[in-house]
Amino acid sequence: MNMPLAKSVISAGVRSAPPAPVAAKVLPLPVKQKAMNTRAYETLGNMAATVVPPVVMVLLLLTVWQVLCMRPGATLPPPSKIWTEAYDLIVDPFFVAGPQDIGLGWRVLVSLERVAIGYGLAAVFGIALGTLVGQSVWAMRGLDPIFQVLRTISPLAWLPISLAAFRDSQPSAIFVIFITSVWPIIINTAVGIRNIPQDYRNVAAVLRLNPLEFFWKIMIPSAAPYIFTGLRIGIGLSWLAIVAAEMLTGGVGIGFFIWDAWNSSRLPDIFIALAYIGIVGFILDRIVAGLASVVTRGTAAN
Amino acid sequence: MTAYCRIDHVDKTYKRGTTETCVLKEITLDIEKGEYVSIIGHSGCGKSTLLNIVAGLTPATNGGVILEGREVNDPGPDRAVVFQNHSLLPWLTVYDNVRLAVDKVCSATKSRAERHAWTVHNLDLVQMTHAKDKRPSEISGGMKQRVGLARALSMEPKVLLLDEPFGALDALTRAHLQDTVMGLHQKLGNTVMMITHDVDEAVLLSDRIIMMTNGPAAQIGEILPVPLARPRKRLELVADATFLKCRQRVLEFLYERHQFVEAA
């Protein structure tokens, strides 16, 4: 990293010196260019190694799909048809052509907003409750069986109850997200808290940390790997649940778009929406995983 | 005149269901200020339990610990512990591990700048300033123990408790660290109570060696004063008559009179 930087500094210095002869200006340039090129080739090579295999596989799958769905009487559209019919959705995620005729990017953002609120609440409640359950034997005995039963309930089964309680689709969808993603966060946090080594508790005892200091300085960092496992499962589940919830509650989100497309027989649009959901879900997972590796740096290494 | 630190008629029994196991029986020991006391015994004789009772991490069934005329029941920084397995917090750097203790213990008495200086000073004492920004996973076992020692020293404990601090180290690192501890004891005049199962280590470092009988219901079998002048030099002591005699006494106690029985 330092090499080209140093070179460019030198060459810049040479160039900015006003009385320097013309030849001195020309000389350093080809050297710099060459170094840049080799570096660029290396990076390109590395990128190709990670990018090319999945691209090849995708192309292969698309070809198989194309071949299978091209024959007359096929129930699903082939990729070529999707490309031509859903062209506007593919090329511009952020167009606005009317109240219900907007790009998928906007719809995803609306869904993401719901997920952000529901999942954010789930993270806060989940970590707090998980800490309580992990810390107190009685809280665990009382609450753990309830959690174990409640967590098996399908997200959509909660929807009628939340609709009845909130009498509005927006908070109901958010509640479904919350109730779906909160369980893995609670359970993993509780396991993490329960697994805090006695050594760390001894250190805290000798230092006479108060409960708040113990929570921030020992519990959270020590349980962080577990908590992040819960958070990662939770974000996946909430992204699964939002699509289903939006199908039923309506509105602007990506889930309702699929339902709407199905009702108006726009099959190609559904495929595009599926691709969006998959990619956004993948990105969400990567974000939480990346956050985890930054926050738990050091903890996992021991 | 009462002792600086007195372990007074301490019993410890563990109850599991209806069966009671007596680990320690009638332990009474006085430790003077500035004294270096080692507790030696076979594994399972309850010596670590005794240290935990003094630290306040384990409650005694009967009896208690009196430090400077006051009974102590809870753990606290006046009885800082260097744990056998270092117990550094892996998510904090070397500096932050010590700083956590300094911030907690000296928050009322020292300013921010003074706390920083005090942290660095204690890392200097154990020659670990060079690695202050490393994490525990990036330094060797001996270095971790040094940091653990710096953390304990930074609390300026009335009694420094060492729980087999060198047990997990190789012989050379152990010798090096023993010299460090000996130097620091000489320099700072700490009162130290050390658990060990290494005879040479006990004789080299201690003013008195407390020999424990085998459990269950372990007692103090014998107390051996080590009348060697300080500072002590490892190499000179190898052939020293007093050193050899003390060593002989401890070995006889451990391997003739109180042989280790696996059945316990």
List the domains of chain B with CATH numbers: 32-55+160-264 (3.40.50.300), 82-157 (no CATH)
- Rounded distance between C-alpha atoms, residue A202 and residue B192, angstroms: 19
Residue A239: per-residue pLDDT: 92
Closest CB from B55, B81, B90 relative to A302:
B90
Render pLDDT for A260-298 as a digit per residue (tens, 0 to 9): 899 998 899 999 999 999 999 999 999 999 998 888 775
B75 touching chain A per CB within 8 A? yes
Task: Please compute, for residue B264, the number of CA atoms within 13 A of its CA located in the half-sphere on the CB side.
Answer: 18
Residue B248: per-residue pLDDT: 92
For residue A204, pLDDT over 80 is answered with yes
Instruction: Give the angle A286-A289-A294 at the CA atoms, nearest 5°.
Output: 125
Closest CA–CA distance from residue B39 to any residue of chain A (Å): 21
Q: Which residues partner with A102 through β-bridges?
A: A96
Taking contacts as CB-CB distances below 8 angstroms, the residues of chain B near A224 are: 91
Best of B54, B74, B91 to disrupt the A interface (most A CBs within 10 Å) is: B91
Q: Span B59-84, mean pLDDT?
A: 90
Better-scored residue on pLDDT, B149 or A37? B149
Residue A37: per-residue pLDDT: 75
Residue A184: per-residue pLDDT: 94
Band of pLDDT at residue A180, cut at 50, 70 and 90:
very high
- Of all residues in chain B, the one with the smallest CA distance to A217 is B100
Expressed in angstroms, the distance from the first to the final Cα of chain B is 39
Closest CA–CA distance from residue B199 to any residue of chain A (Å): 27
Closest CA–CA distance from residue A206 to any residue of chain B (Å): 4
Q: If you average pLDDT over every residue of chain B, what do you get?
A: 89
The complex's ipTM works out to 0.87
For residue A17, pLDDT over 60 is answered with no
- Of all residues in chain B, the one with the smallest CA distance to A196 is B89
Residue A299: per-residue pLDDT: 57
Render pLDDT for B82-106 as a digit per residue (tens, 0 to 9): 988 888 999 899 999 999 999 998 8
Band of pLDDT at residue A202, cut at 50, 70 and 90:
very high
Residue A3: per-residue pLDDT: 44
CB contact under 8 A, B87 and A302: no
Render pLDDT for B13-49 as a digit per residue (tens, 0 to 9): 888 888 888 888 888 999 999 999 999 988 878 888 8
The length of chain B is 264
Residue A32: per-residue pLDDT: 53
Taking contacts as CB-CB distances below 8 angstroms, the residues of chain A near B108 are: none
Q: Span A249-258, mean pLDDT?
A: 86
CB contact under 8 A, B77 and A207: yes
CB contact under 8 A, A205 and B57: yes
